[in-house]
């Protein structure tokens, strides 16, 4: 019997309709902007409605072919955060090319399909949906950002699609109930704890201000700072925000400068952070610290001669430290991909993400998503050429390492053990 017009005739059609409706709602919300009162929790596009669980019913083993396996990446490849997306992609592609040149994994080459989400939650939801539903990728790798990852998480988790090494330290992605998420890096809570520890113990700082991005990324970092200060009986002298994908930081600068802080912790992207540092330095001279997501190389370029003396926490080794085996391999792979490419913390993190994916693939000659995730999340220890990642029951984060660095006069990054003894 021919179904009547407008009636969904199969579970697959119902699932698709649910996805399209959810995506439409998210995109409409994304166009409406964020709450004008600056409340970073009032961000509807970051939490899309639930979707149907069986999004890949028509392909038994999505993204897996006789001769190749296909991953997807939704990240910012345009807009003010694009340097982060391009660097993550470059690192992943360097790792994949390196392995493909050696014959691939179990006879399969590795491919990466990318979509530009502009660092906006609505676009990230649509891009992730397209990668899963249309491109039918095996898994997602190297997503960039907290608000974008938050909008993608319900999609990947409902279909148990591997969501590997997102470039964010957001706490919600460390929830062990997210069965498909495998984190590589330390969390923002760990980065901000390290900052506050060093400020208070090395310099005796008690007056700390925070500038943060008005979304779940900024809120995650702000919460980390507040908790770290509270553990020491302190509270910030000022906190103020700016809007995502914007460099309109004058209001934040005004309120922070008025509080005369000894240190300012920046939870933002490289363009607005650089702008705020430049403006603040005309009135006050605090210690500036930024979390790793800012993108060290991009921040140093934006600041130019003003970069010297800015501190950053890092969650991967120094990208020019060829004495570290995995970094030496990264440098060789990056040079083989692009002889003119500049090594950096973000592309190194992308390379490590690619290497982590290869570990999961190697463990599964009969490759399925379930086998891949089990291989990574149940491993007690994963050795990436000397970089040790630890996973286990209830722990989907491989590394806890946080390294303090400072930008020197040449725009390089120098490790710092004691802020008082900064070179």
pLDDT tens digits along 349-393:
999 999 999 999 999 999 999 999 999 988 779 999 999 999 988
Identical topology for domains 37-186+324-389 and 188-314+403-421: yes
Per CATH, domain 37-186+324-389 is 3.40.50.300: no
**pLDDT one-digit tens code per residue, 132-165:** 999 999 999 999 999 999 999 999 998 999 999 9
Task: Please tell me the predicted confidence (pLDDT) of residue 17.
Answer: 39
Residues 6 or more apart whose CB falls under 8 angstroms from that of 161 comprise 56, 62, 132, 137, 139, 140, 155, 180, 369
Rounded to an integer, the average pLDDT of 202-222 is 98
Residues 6 or more apart whose CB falls under 8 angstroms from that of 224 comprise 187, 188, 189, 191, 192, 193
Task: Please tell me the predicted confidence (pLDDT) of residue 30.
Answer: 39
Task: Please tell me the predicted confidence (pLDDT) of residue 59.
Answer: 60
**pLDDT one-digit tens code per residue, 111-131:** 999 999 999 999 999 999 999
- Asked whether residue 186 carries a pLDDT value surpassing 70, the answer given is yes
Q: CA-to-CA distance for 178 and 158, rounded, in angstroms?
A: 9
Tell me the pLDDT band of 43, cut-offs 50, 70 and 90: very low
- Asked whether residue 31 carries a pLDDT value surpassing 50, the answer given is no
pTM: 0.86
Q: CA-to-CA distance for 139 and 69, rounded, in angstroms?
A: 9
- Asked whether residue 33 carries a pLDDT value surpassing 70, the answer given is no
Tell me the pLDDT band of 421, cut-offs 50, 70 and 90: confident
Strands 181-182 and 238-242: unpaired
For the chain, what are the domain ranges? 37-186+324-389, 188-314+403-421
CATH topology of domain 188-314+403-421: Rossmann fold (3.40.50)
Tell me the pLDDT band of 55, cut-offs 50, 70 and 90: very low
Whether 273 contacts 307, CB under 8 Å: no
Q: Residue count of the chain, please give it.
A: 423
Task: Please tell me the predicted confidence (pLDDT) of residue 222.
Answer: 98
Helices (H), 259-341: 270-280, 296-303, 325-337
**pLDDT one-digit tens code per residue, 267-317:** 999 999 999 999 999 999 999 999 999 999 999 999 999 999 999 999 999
What's the count of helices (H) and strands (E) in the chain, helices before strands?
A: 12, 14
């Amino acid at each position: 019997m021919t179904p009547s017009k407008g009636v969904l005739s199969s579970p697959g059609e119902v699932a698709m309709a649910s996805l399209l409706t959810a995506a439409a709602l998210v995109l409409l919300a994304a166009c409406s902007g964020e709450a004008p009162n600056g409340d970073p929790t009032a961000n509807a596009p970051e939490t899309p409605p639930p979707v149907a669980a069986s999004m890949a019913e028509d392909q038994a083993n999505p993204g897996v072919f006789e001769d190749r396996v296909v991953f997807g990446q939704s990240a910012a490849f345009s807009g003010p955060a694009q340097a982060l997306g391009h660097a993550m992609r470059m690192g992943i592609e360097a790792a994949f090319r390196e392995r493909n040149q050696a014959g691939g994994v179990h006879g399969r080459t590795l491919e990466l399909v990318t979509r530009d989400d502009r660092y906006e939650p609505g676009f990230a939801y649509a891009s992730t949906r397209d990668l899963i539903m249309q491109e039918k990728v095996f898994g997602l790798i190297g997503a960039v950002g907290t608000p974008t990852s938050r909008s993608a998480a319900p999609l990947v988790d409902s279909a148990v699609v591997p969501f590997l090494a997102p470039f964010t330290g957001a706490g919600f992605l460390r929830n062990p109930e997210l069965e498909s998420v495998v984190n590589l890096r330390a969390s923002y809570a760990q980065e901000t704890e390290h900052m506050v520890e060093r400020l208070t113990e090395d310099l005796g700082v008690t007056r700390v201000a925070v500038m943060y991005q008005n979304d779940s990324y900024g809120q995650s970092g702000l919460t980390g700072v507040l908790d770290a200060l509270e553990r020491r009986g302190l509270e910030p002298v000022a906190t103020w925000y700016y809007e995502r994908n914007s460099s309109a930081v004058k209001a934040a600068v005004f309120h922070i400068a008025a509080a005369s802080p000894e240190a300012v912790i920046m939870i933002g992207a490289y363009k607005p952070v650089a702008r705020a540092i430049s403006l603040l330095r005309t009135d006050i001279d605090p210690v500036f610290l930024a979390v790793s997501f800012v993108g060290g190389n991009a921040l140093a370029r934006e600041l130019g001669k003003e970069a010297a003396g800015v501190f950053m926490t890092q969650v991967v080794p120094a990208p020019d430290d060829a004495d570290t085996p995995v970094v030496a391999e990264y440098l060789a792979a990056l040079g083989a991909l692009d002889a003119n490419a500049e090594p950096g913390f973000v592309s190194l993190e992308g390379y490590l993400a690619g290497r982590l994916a290869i570990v999961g693939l190697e463990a599964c000659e009969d490759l399925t998503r379930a086998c891949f995730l089990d291989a990574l999340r149940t491993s007690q220890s994963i050795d990436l050429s000397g970089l040790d990642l630890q996973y286990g029951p209830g722990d989907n984060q491989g590394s806890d390492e946080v390294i303090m660095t400072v930008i020197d006069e040449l725009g390089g990054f120098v490790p710092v053990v004691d802020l008082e003894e900064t070179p």
